[in-house]
Amino acid sequence: MGNFWRLLGFLRPYRSGVIWSVTLAAGAMGLGALIPLAVGHAIDDISRGDKASLLWSVVAVAVAGLLRGALSVSRRLVSGRVSLGVEHDVRRRIYRHLQDLEIGFFHDQQTGQLMSRATVDLQSVRFFLGYGLTFMLQSALTILISAAIMLVIQPDLALLIMATTPLIVYTAARYGRRARPAVQEAQQRLAELSANAEEDISGVRVIKAFAREPQRLERFRGTTERVFEQQVYSTRLSAFYSPLLGFIPSLGLAVVLIYGGNQVIDGVLTLGQFTAFYFYMLMLIGPLRTLGNSLGSAQRATASGARIFEILDRAPRIESTPDDVPMPSGGGAVMFDAVAFSYPDAKRPTLRDVSFKVPAGKTVAIVGGTGAGKTTLVSLIPRLYEVSAGSITVDGADVRSIDPYELRREIAFVAEDSFLFSATIADNIAYARDDVTDEQIALAARRAQIADFVESLPDGYATVVGERGITLSGGQRQRVAIARALIADPRILILDDATSSVDARTEAEIKRALRELMLGRTTFVIAHRLSTISLADFIVVLEDGAVADAGTHDELMDRCETYAQLAAKGMPESVFLTRKEPTAEPAGL
């Protein structure tokens, strides 16, 4: 029930709309309750032969029906506005919260699962809060009005009919207890189906390249079968309980026909009163029969709400606080002091006691074998992850004390597989800033060695690159990413294997662009392809998450076996920029 009451909290901004919706529903039901009375009077008028009174009874039926229709239309419009407003607010809240969560949250999450909660689950919540809840209140009001009038017309008969109410309540409660976990499991399996579909669509190139369509289809078929089985189980519950909830009120109908009919024959009730009583009983039975559907809607919304709250209740672990200090002035000097880091549930730390200094404007290459912790190390600088121990300072300030948004605006990434949005080339280059002119975009493209290619396209900078930049080659994507970093004008630059996936000619072009980008900036270069180290002032060697050594290429070749092995597997020594003295001394070595 806790999630149910929390769902009602989404209606708080729409209190007036909910009140109007309930008021209009009550007015419509009140007018609807007058119609059986008027019909009963009309039948008695016919029995008496009173034409004048019959006319007024017919007018009353027509006017009540017309006003009821007008109020019902108004109620639907108001309810629709509330429903769409809730959907709009919750969707924005989910999206904003996902943006606030640290990157580590997304490691264990499937995109399809998250999308399902923002779409399928949200739809269930929207329809229940906008329509289902009002309908349930309207049904409850109908039951109360009908029961009250029936008690006035014939108390004994009304009590006989309402004697079935406890049985209905018990059956409905039992249905709810069984339906809630079944519906929640069905929602979870639907989300898994969405996740599988999203993954297969995103990876369609790999699937086709390795001719794995039959295997993926079999996997998808298994997922759809699990969804089918769970939905069949939920349908089986509904198929049993919904007719049962409809049958129990039908017992009251039999009581009315036999007991009420005898009272008409005996003269206790008039035919008009009996007819009115019969209509009110139908008004009572209708909401009771649909109780199962209403409960099903509530169960689906509660199950969906629980999945939405799983996201909203996940507090960000890296966020702005009132105690954050502004980004200090400086050129981007960075110091690692005894830094350690462990991923959640990891058996051993990824980084251990890492210490070194990078003066402002200098370039450091981070090298090491696969899994040494290179990407993790540079990801700690903009606080994509939080250090487990030790500290990282930028221009003398601990990064944990700086507002993360201010910090990240001073840092730019160029990764091995740079992500581009499905937008124009100009939009992707200008992504880091809002106040960018066409001239600045063109200048950044020229400096990134991509202007000639862009200007040769029919639409030039207005060319849409497709999802993830699929219409561009790897080298072209990298150079657009470099132009984007130039527009950002960062204090600190991080190059994560920025040339590893391109050919030698493209690598040479990208390196020219990188030299332009690195000029005057503190730069971290992660290198698997050791030719990239020619861009660096000094080198830090990581081994099993710790600093094995640091210095120039020549120094490390003489004294660091790990580095010598990496160099032997890389490019010839002639590609390195050899320095006699390191431009920075690693701390603690």
**317 near 383, Cβ under 8 Å?**
no
Q: Which domains does the chain have, with CATH numbers?
A: 2-312 (1.20.1560.10), 328-406+529-589 (3.40.50.300)
353, pLDDT greater than 90: yes
Within 10 Å of residue 178's Cβ, how many Cβ atoms? 16
**334 near 393, Cβ under 8 Å?**
yes
Helices (H), 101-203: 111-118, 120-127, 133-153, 155-162, 165-202
127, pLDDT greater than 70: yes
Going by pLDDT thresholds of 50, 70 and 90, the confidence category of residue 582 is: very low
Going by pLDDT thresholds of 50, 70 and 90, the confidence category of residue 318 is: confident
The pLDDT score that the predictor gives to residue 400 is 93
The pLDDT score that the predictor gives to residue 154 is 82
371, pLDDT greater than 50: yes
**Paired strand residues for 393:** 335, 398
pTM over 0.85, yes/no: no
B/e letters for 302-333, b = 16+ CB within 10 Å, e = fewer, are: bbbbbbbeebeeeeeebeeeeebeebeeeebb
What torsion, rounded to 10 degrees, do the Cα atoms 178, 181, 187, 193 define?
-100
User: Among the listed ranges 190-204, 316-330, 452-466, which one has the minimum average pLDDT value?
Assistant: 190-204
Kindly state the tokens that stand for 118.
Answer: 């923002």
pLDDT in tens, 225-238: 888 888 888 788 87
531, pLDDT greater than 90: no
Q: What phi and psi values does residue 65 have, to the nearest 5 degrees?
A: -65, -40
User: Among the listed ranges 35-44, 133-142, 367-376, 382-391, which one has the minimum average pLDDT value?
Assistant: 133-142
337, pLDDT greater than 90: yes
The pLDDT score that the predictor gives to residue 553 is 83
Identify the residue with better confidence: 411 or 169: 411
**255 near 248, Cβ under 8 Å?**
no
The pLDDT score that the predictor gives to residue 157 is 80
149, pLDDT greater than 60: yes
**115 near 308, Cβ under 8 Å?**
no
Evaluate the CA torsion angle 521, 527, 529, 534 in order and state its sign: positive
The pLDDT score that the predictor gives to residue 44 is 86
Per-residue 3-state assignment (H helix, E strand, C coil) for 316-371:
CCCCCCCCCECCCCCCCCEEEEEEEECCCCCCCCCEEEEEEEECCCCEEEEEECCC
d(CA 387, CA 377): 9
Going by pLDDT thresholds of 50, 70 and 90, the confidence category of residue 202 is: low
Amino acid in the structure at residue 490: P
d(CA 12, CA 7): 10
**474 near 414, Cβ under 8 Å?**
no
User: Among the listed ranges 145-149, 219-223, 293-297, which one has the minimum average pLDDT value?
Assistant: 293-297
Give the residue-averaged pLDDT of 165-180: 73
580, pLDDT greater than 50: no
**384 near 103, Cβ under 8 Å?**
yes
587, pLDDT greater than 50: no
434, pLDDT greater than 50: yes
285, pLDDT greater than 80: no
The pLDDT score that the predictor gives to residue 63 is 93
d(CA 322, CA 305): 31
Going by pLDDT thresholds of 50, 70 and 90, the confidence category of residue 292 is: low
The pLDDT score that the predictor gives to residue 584 is 45
**Paired strand residues for 365:** 525, 539
Candidates 341, 248, 322, 227; CA nearest to 292 is 248
The pLDDT score that the predictor gives to residue 405 is 87
Within 10 Å of residue 267's Cβ, how many Cβ atoms? 7
Report which listed range, 84-88, 208-212, 245-249, is most confident.
Answer: 84-88
User: Among the listed ranges 98-102, 112-116, 219-223, 401-405, which one has the minimum average pLDDT value?
Assistant: 112-116
588, pLDDT greater than 50: no
572, pLDDT greater than 50: no
Kindly state the tokens that stand for 218.
Answer: 């079999």
pLDDT in tens, 448-486: 888 889 999 899 999 988 777 777 887 888 888 888 988
Report which listed range, 36-50, 191-205, 329-343, is most confident.
Answer: 329-343
d(CA 379, CA 496): 10
- CA distances (Å), 355 to each of 111, 476, 495, in order? 36, 36, 20
Give the residue-averaged pLDDT of 104-109: 77
